[in-house]
Amino acid sequence: MSITSGANPIRANPIRANSILPAAREDIELHTADGLTLVGELARPLDRDPVATLVCLHPLPTHGGMMDSHVFRKAAWRLPALAGIAVLRFNTRGTSSVRGTSEGAFDGAVGERYDVAAAIEYAEFADLPNVWLLGWSFGTDLTLMHGLDPAIEGAILLSPPLRFSQPEHLAAWAGSGKPVTAIIPEFDDYLRPAEAAERFAAVPHAEVLPVAGAKHLWVGDAETVLDEVVRRVAPDVPVPLPQTWDGPMESGDMNAYADRTVAAFSDVPVPAPIASPGSEPEPPA
């Protein structure tokens, strides 16, 4: 396919897994109430103000989860240009990626409450509009447990295992009335659509969206996920999103993520929650 602009043809190139579309990207640091510095990145549209903002909460860092986990990486690489959405990604405490390593250590969804708060606070101070939390796996537990903040418009949950979060967290979201969408793979490892519908019945206004043929890690289904995210946070943006781009485009280094595959963590046990149901850490002095 080519597009003619005057005498110069402009070729529309396919958007591939490693395609990086133009955006205003900046490395950021988040500072938590308990004294840690977390590393991250904010990607904004180049040529306009964002219509919405995604704050991304990544999968389990003990099993390769990080700010560069592939759905979030693709969101940051594509959505500022294709949908006018700002994407804030960061590594929770003790998590490493190409961007660097955040201070602290994995704390089983307890100390991570301060990480979530720091990300929301950053979005507020940066005057980012229409802020939504986008959690994936462990990140959905962080969203449900610690993300119910007045600055948040709503939450989108990818592959929620409901492992660390408790019924009282669902009850709090139910009482808030804030929109919640749970996007559930048909063949999820932890929570499949039928059980998800039962568990999320505790949030009467929650939307449970099954995705046929998908699995927990969304390999091969990232485009479907991004379309559904955009449909909810920026409903005026047409979906499905374009699969080609006729402007400048760079390529990311996929080799940087070779040691974060499922196979690399196949023998690592998934950590159990370390806090008793309903418990919260003491606030810092």
From 110-119, 259-268, 269-278, the region with the lowest mean pLDDT: 259-268
153 pLDDT more than 80: yes
Higher-pLDDT residue of 169 and 11 is: 169
Mean pLDDT on 199-223:
97
Q: Are 51 and 85 in contact (CB under 8 A)?
A: yes
DSSP string, 115-133: HHHHHHHHHHHTT-SSEEE
- Alpha-carbon distance of 10 to 2, in angstroms, equals 6
244 pLDDT more than 70: yes
- Alpha-carbon distance of 22 to 77, in angstroms, equals 8
From 41-50, 80-89, 226-235, 265-274, the region with the lowest mean pLDDT: 265-274
Domains and CATH numbers, the chain: 22-265 (3.40.50.1820)
List alpha helices for 132-221, DSSP H: 138-146, 167-176, 193-199
Q: In the structure, what pLDDT confidence band is assigned to residue 266 with cuts at 50, 70 and 90? A: low
pLDDT attached to residue 270: 80
pLDDT attached to residue 272: 80
pLDDT attached to residue 280: 47
The pLDDT tens digits of the residues spanning 89-109 come to: 999 999 999 999 999 999 999
260 pLDDT more than 90: no
Q: In the structure, what pLDDT confidence band is assigned to residue 5 with cuts at 50, 70 and 90? A: very low
pLDDT attached to residue 257: 75
Q: In the structure, what pLDDT confidence band is assigned to residue 10 with cuts at 50, 70 and 90? A: low
What is the identity of the amino acid at 134?
L
pLDDT attached to residue 6: 44
Crossing angle of helices 70-83/222-233, nearest 10°? 50
Task: Report the chain's mean pLDDT, rounded to a whole number.
Answer: 91
pLDDT attached to residue 264: 56
pLDDT attached to residue 269: 80
Name the percent of the chain lying above pLDDT 90: 84
Q: In the structure, what pLDDT confidence band is assigned to residue 113 with cuts at 50, 70 and 90? A: very high
Higher-pLDDT residue of 271 and 215 is: 215
Name the percent of the chain lying above pLDDT 70: 89
SS3 186: strand
Q: Are 139 and 65 in contact (CB under 8 A)?
A: yes
